[in-house]
């Protein structure tokens, strides 16, 4: 009986020694473009039909918004971002303000902390300029956490 017990203990120790070390979190980056289907005319606040940003595997989302006007104008354009837990019902989380520069492209790049909110969406654009917005591009990136094991 003692021999059997010693054999089992030895086998358990060998198995424990061969177990890979604890996992490490590796960050991977993905860049996506959000499709905005609305035209954004002059001097209006428009609701926007845009695809949702899937942040289910991220704590922070890098956000890039760029646009230009169809003519002159330097007033600040306000982009409203909303969040959702179910990708159905959205509530306003915050805004991004970006001063226009006429027909020159302007770009905002920033980090947006989403925490436990898995979905973001651009829901509204307020353009006080006398000319409409054109070439609107919204991109986002996130670093998803992936578990990987080191070899022993």
What local confidence, expressed as pLDDT, does residue 26 receive?
44
Distance CA 145, CA 103 (A): 40
Gap between the Cα atoms of 146 and 23, Å rounded = 10
Q: What share of the chain is helix, strand, coil (3-state, %, to 5)?
A: 10, 55, 35
What pLDDT tens digit does each residue of the chain (152 aa) get?
Answer: 667 666 666 655 555 555 555 444 444 556 778 767 667 888 888 888 888 888 888 888 899 999 999 999 999 999 999 999 999 999 999 999 999 999 999 999 998 888 889 999 999 999 999 999 998 999 888 876 555 555 55
Domains and CATH numbers, the chain: 23-148 (2.60.120.40)
What pLDDT is stored for residue 97 in this prediction?
A: 97
């Amino acid at each position: 009986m003692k021999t059997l017990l010693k054999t089992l203990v030895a086998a358990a120790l060998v198995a424990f020694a061969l177990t890979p070390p604890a996992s490490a979190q590796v960050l991977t980056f993905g860049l996506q473009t959000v499709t905005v289907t609305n035209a954004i005319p002059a001097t209006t606040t428009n609701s926007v039909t845009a695809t949702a940003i899937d942040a289910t595997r991220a704590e922070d989302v890098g956000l890039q918004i760029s646009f230009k006007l169809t003519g002159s104008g330097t007033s600040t354009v306000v982009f409203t971002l909303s969040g959702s837990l179910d990708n159905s019902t959205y509530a306003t989380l915050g805004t991004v303000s970006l001063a226009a520069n006429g027909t020159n492209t302007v770009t905002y790049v920033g980090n947006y902390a989403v925490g436990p909110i898995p979905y973001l969406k651009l829901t509204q654009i307020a353009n006080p300029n006398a000319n409409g917005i054109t070439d609107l591009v919204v991109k986002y990136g996130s670093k998803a956490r992936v578990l990987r094991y080191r070899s022993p």
